[in-house]
Amino acid sequence: MSQLWQGVELPDGFRLDYRDSTGSTNDDAREAARAGAAAGLVIVAGKQEAGRGRRGAAWVCPPGEGLAFTVLSRPGEAKALWPRLSLAAGLAVAEGLERFGMLAEVKWPNDVWISGKKVAGILVEAGDDHVAVGIGINVGVRGFPPALGDSATSLLLECGEAPPLPAVLATVLERLQVWQGKIGAGFGELLRHFRVRCALSGKEVRLLAADGALSGRVAGIGDGGELLLETPEGIRKLVQADEVRVLEN
């Protein structure tokens, strides 16, 4: 195990499984779940060989500069509510990063922004009896490829220093412990906090929905966690969307 992670204690309810290198922490969590692992397992990778985001997009997390981990969850709520863990995780990351002096927002459905740039991504994947909540955070990343230079950032670039990776993990898990338990009866409270941090509300956006490309103004987040998009034809309620881009004024 990396010296950085030796002796690290996580908040109550979580236990650490650190791996110097792996393919994907989400895949590892899925395998652990099938083998009977209990909820609260946190798999952290020093390096991911096959990390991915939504729709299979590659997720690049430089060793020692990024934090890549997956939390194994076994929700007691109905399976139809499990996708709400994406909102819970996004809110947990945003609140956790605020502990380090930065205002973070959640870009529905699965990104966290600082100053309008992506600092973290979330990939929630459900199995028959479990959910893998994958999170990637740019902590000490010093630079990005040209294609990402205008859209990505890191804690280091935003505040001039990178907090220790274990400290970032602990703060996010503390908040996740709170919000993952509110995807059912407590969802109203989760939504109130999520709406305050929603980076898209009031913005003109373009996105890709199931029936094609759409443009409009984001009217907010609905009571089920869906995106409310105001279009010339009326309000559209979107449960899923890809390539959500804010249009320049």
What residues make up the domain containing 230?
204-246
* 242, 133: one domain: no
* 92, 175: one domain: yes
* 164, 103: one domain: yes
Which amino acid does the sequence have at 208?
L
Predicted TM-score (pTM) of the model is 0.93
Rg (CA), the chain: 17
Q: For the chain, 249 residues long, give each residue's pLDDT as a single digit of tens.
A: 678 999 899 999 999 999 999 999 999 999 999 999 999 999 999 998 876 555 555 566 677 899 999 999 999 999 999 999 999 999 999 999 999 998 999 999 889 999 999 999 999 999 999 999 999 999 999 988 887 768 899 999 998 999 999 999 999 999 999 999 999 999 999 999 999 999 999 999 999 999 999 999 999 999 999 999 999 999 999 999 999 999 975
* 217, 94: one domain: no
* 170, 211: one domain: no
Bridge partner list, 118: 113, 152
* 167, 236: one domain: no
CATH code for position 229: 2.30.30.100
Number of separate domains in the chain: 2
Q: Which residues of 74-108 are buried (b: 16+ CB within 10 A; e: fewer)?
A: ebebeeeebbbbbbbbbbbbbbbbeebeeebbbbb
* 160, 235: one domain: no
Tokens representing 210 are 């199931």
Residue pair 163/139 in contact by the 8 Å Cβ criterion = yes
Q: For residue 74, which of 31, 35, 37 has the smallest C-alpha distance?
A: 37
Q: For residue 122, which of 74, 112, 131, 114 has the smallest C-alpha distance?
A: 112
